[in-house]
Amino acid sequence: MAKLYFYYASMNAGKSTNLLQADFNYRERGMATMLWTAALDNRSQGHPIASRIGLEANAHLFDGATDLWAEVTAAHTASPLACVLIDEAQFLSPEQAWQCARLADEAGIPVLCYGLRTDFRGELFAGSAVLLGIADALVELKAVCHCGRKATMNLRVDESGAAVAHGAQTEIGGNDRYVALCRKHFRAALAR
């Protein structure tokens, strides 16, 4: 029976690396996969899923208008898929998260979603909230705060490294804009 998985963590926990390793494992065994990532992250040419350690693979792009059910089932009909892997799953709409569940339940395709649980304010992303509620398996990947504790929060910083407490929920960036921290140091940084 196919399942819907949600692998979640703060920034720098290796979500994309884990996704690319899972993809490699399927492909090494001769199984077809389909990779997806959010269209709004346009930092790379060709729209690959890229890890901080240098691994990358090309992926299909989704935005709020993408019908994942239709796109994936059409591809699956043409050539059977063993797995669908979705990076930046926090950017899925609630409807798209349910489409992922439907792919597992009705099409029999395992769907592995990887994403952030919370934003820079500590609030759930809409896609993550639904995945946390409906996924068959929840897997927390670990990142480390500078103090050695588990990092669970994503602190947004400005150009000078100062904490940012207000703004749009989504602002694309890497280590230049976000720091993974434990809750204690996240709260301390925002209190300054």
The set of catalytic residues is: 88
CA dist 35 and 38 (Å) reads 11
How would you label 145-173 residue by residue, b for 16+ Cβ within 10 Å and e otherwise? beeeeebbbbbbbeeeeebbeeeeeeeee
Q: How far apart, in Å, are the Cα atoms of 82 and each of 4, 7, 46, 90, 102?
A: 13, 18, 24, 23, 15
- Whose tokens are 């884990």? That residue is 18
Can you give the length of the chain in residues?
192
CA dist 35 and 145 (Å) reads 30
Number of Cβ within a 10 Å radius of residue 143: 20
